[in-house]
Structure formats: structure tokens, C-alpha cells
Amino acid sequence: MASGGKVGVVIFFSISAWFFLDKEQTIKSNLKRVWIMERELLFWSLTLMAFYLMLDRACIDAKLMIKSIAPLSMSLWWYATAYAIFLALLPFLSKGLKALGRKYHLALAITVLIIWGLTSFIPGSLGGYPSINSSLTGVFGFIYLFIIISAYKWYMKPFTLKNIGVLLGTGIGLSLLFEIVSIVLHHFGFASSFVITSDWKLPMVMIGFGIFLLFNKCTFHSQVINRIAQSAFAVYLITVYDASITLLWKRLFNLENLYQRPFAIL
């Protein structure tokens, strides 16, 4: 069930990376992006802190209050902090990849796919450990995806619908296969999982980037979708604020009670 969120992160980042590749990245413009995001983070962190202090103090503690005052540097939201670090590195990363040229850039993409992609199928190996939602893990994940996405956009022929179908089908098939194996092993007393659906695992990247490429082939405009898209980041910030997690997912809607039920997927 966790795979939906991991695929969503790949799609969300792929949209940003795709447009970053259309123009030259400068230190000034990227630091400006970080500053704009920091203002949004501060608005929501201080607003949420004030809300919980007034209406539900049981959900907030001193540590969360301190993190709310400096949300970016204190990694209040792992995605935001990791994305800010990535933006600061992007001008140098982009220029470095351009300087590599086609041959070495594609070789680099293959190398990272082997290091973090293929080994993610082997429990306990380099890519086989379940990752945590830390900012450091996120930065490496973003760089990993950016290397692959830039190699595709700069040097490869666009995938056909058939290619995208194979990419999606393979990713979904591998994910289901490993989940089934994990369930079978669990019934035989091996209470462990291959965690193939955790962050940056190859099937999640294949599905996420495949969905992005599929919709990239569509051309349509919708003010409703644009308005929803503008609000998506704020919804993320509100719902995964530590106090909100306690209120929403432990008290009002206790999802832990649903996870082990037969109808959990529904």
C-alpha cells in the first residue's frame, strides 16, 4: 500500500526536473526558488503551530515548536528540505552533466541504475535496505532521478506508447511479484519483507517515470487541474505536519486499525 506514495514522489519530482532541463540553471535563480519555498514553509509551520497551541496542545511539544520556527533547516518536512538542497546543487549538477557529453552521461545513468536499481532487488544489499524519509536520503534520490531523467531527455529518442507500456508493465509486475513472495514467506514464518515498494526502488522509479511519460504525451489544458495542482504542496505540508499526523491518522482516523484488515486496500 505504501507504493502509491513512493510513485507519487517520483512523479512530483519528474515534473520539476523536466522543466529544469529546458533552460540554464543559475545560482541566483535557484536560491530565489529556495527563498520563495522557505516563505511558504514558514507560513504553514507557524500557522499550524499556532492552531495546535490554541486548539489541541496535546498534539504539539517543545521540539516540534522549535522545528516550526526553522522548518527548512530543521527538516520539518523531509521533501522540502531535500528539494531545497537539490536546488542549491542543481546549477553545478546540470553544468557537470552537460560537460560529460552523451557517451559518459549515458554511462553514468547505467551505472547508477545498476548501483541503486538492480541491487534494490537483493535484501540486505547496497540498494536493498528500506530507506527512511530523511532529507539526506531524499537528496541522493533526487540526484539519482535527475541523472536518469536528463539522460533520457537530452540523449534518447522519446519512448513510444508501446515502450511506456512495457516500462509500466515491468515495474508493476516486478512490484507485485516481490510482494507476493514476501507474503508467502511471511506465512512460512519469515516475518520480513523485500521492501521493494520503498523509496527510490527500481519498480517505483519505473512506474512513476512511466506514468509521467504517458501523460507527457497528452496535450490538454484545465484551469481546475491547475488550481488543484497549486494547492497540492500546501495539502502535503498540512497533513504531514507532526501534530496533524497525530490528530488525523491516530485519533480521528486511526489507519493502524485498518492496515491489518482484509478490506485494507479498499
Number of domains, the chain? 1
Domain that holds residue 208: 3-259
Answer whether residue 264 is part of any domain.
no
Answer whether residue 64 is part of any domain.
yes
Tens-binned pLDDT, residue by residue, of the chain (266 aa): 778 889 999 999 999 999 999 888 899 999 999 999 999 999 999 999 999 999 888 889 999 999 999 999 999 999 999 999 999 999 999 999 999 999 999 999 999 999 888 888 776 666 554 445 577 888 999 999 999 999 999 999 999 999 999 999 999 999 888 888 888 887 887 765 557 777 888 999 999 999 999 999 988 889 999 899 889 899 999 999 999 999 998 888 887 777 777 777 77
CA geometry: angle 256, 262, 263, nearest 5 deg = 80
Cell triple for 201: 526502488
Answer whether residue 266 is part of any domain.
no
How many C-alpha atoms does 8 have within 13 Å on its Cβ side?
Answer: 9
Answer whether residue 265 is part of any domain.
no
- Contact of 100 with 108, CB cutoff 8 Å: yes
Q: pTM (2 decimals)?
A: 0.88
DSSP3 helix / strand / coil % (the chain, rounded to 5)? 75, 0, 25
* Burial of 127: CB neighbours in 10 Å, binned 0-12, 13-18, 19+: middle
